[in-house]
Structure 1
């Protein structure tokens, strides 16, 4: 009998908003903050805080990965180019953005299936509750914390500093 090892964050790949496939092994030895995002959400202004964290800590190894998602109130209806343009012009986003994904259900991106199992939410629930749920991953690829939508990016700064 063979035992199958649980996947690592580095076993996944995703398609950037520009259409390129990226293997997450690219992010080895980096601290990752993975966020499901939306352009028409009450939490959308968090893009500004995420960008500020990225600018402050990218040179120390922080990478923020934004995954647009339209599963919550249809708050991300745009095309990839519309989403990218909105994020760049409205919030000056320079951190990596990816193609729109599902984060819940049978069509959830495998990365989010992994993240939600590795860091369940309140009362052990694995589903993502809303836009701007954040997953913090250490330099070894271990998911260390899940933060709800209400957690502002600046609230995560101390936890990020510890991992850097």
Structure 2
């Protein structure tokens, strides 16, 4: 793939709003490893916020960030306003990593960010639609997708940590 092809499909090359308004400015993460996760506040997997925050704390100084993407497409499990989502994440899980605006990850209105992610296969060969809240994509320092993990894979699972550390080495 040429550099121009890479930049046209790079996930961090799209525009998306920040949860609190304005642009999330994904370009600021160029050269960093980024774990993009569609999140929800009222899901059985919501406690994964704790593991995501621990990853953020452990690796942020090494050029890593978690990027949470609130999504209400799975049984309406993220119904809140931007303010409610921000308050929940901060008060309940101490989330310090950035959150985008509420976004559609599947269907006709799938955000361009996810259009650039879903063709990457996870370890079981799954590509395509996001299966549930807390599906994870690791973007390498070069801006390409390097790993995809199922929603049930805990943020601090050995394979996730190894993939992150491999990008930070």
TM-score grouping bracket, smaller chain normalisation? over 0.9
TM-score by length of 1: 0.93
Aligned length: 160
* 8 A contact 1:11–1:23 mirrored in 2: no
Deviates more, 1:153-162 or 1:29-38: 153-162
* 8 A contact 1:35–1:134 mirrored in 2: yes
Residue 25 of structure 1 and its aligned partner are, at CA, apart by: 1.7
* Secondary structure of residue in 2 paired with 1:129: coil
Q: Distance in 2 between matches of 1:125 and 1:113?
A: 11
Greater strand proportion: 1
TM-score by length of 2: 0.90
Q: Distance in 2 between matches of 1:99 and 1:9?
A: 16
Q: Unmatched 5+ residue regions in structure 2? A: none
Q: Distance in 2 between matches of 1:42 and 1:90?
A: 15
98 and 48 in structure 1: CA distance in 2 versus 1, 3 angstrom threshold: same
CA-atom RMSD in angstroms = 1.4
Q: Distance in 2 between matches of 1:35 and 1:45?
A: 13
Question: Partner residue of 2:59?
Answer: 57
Q: Unmatched 5+ residue regions in structure 1? A: none
1:108 paired residue among 71, 85, 110? 110
* 8 A contact 1:32–1:137 mirrored in 2: yes
Question: Partner residue of 1:38?
Answer: 40
Residue 129 of structure 1 and its aligned partner are, at CA, apart by: 0.4
Question: Partner residue of 2:165?
Answer: 161
Question: Partner residue of 2:79?
Answer: 77
Query: How big is each residue's C-alpha offset from its partner over 1:4-53, in whole Å with a ceiling of 9 and x where there is no partner?
Result: 83422232121111102133221111000000000000000000000000
* 8 A contact 2:56–2:66 mirrored in 1: yes
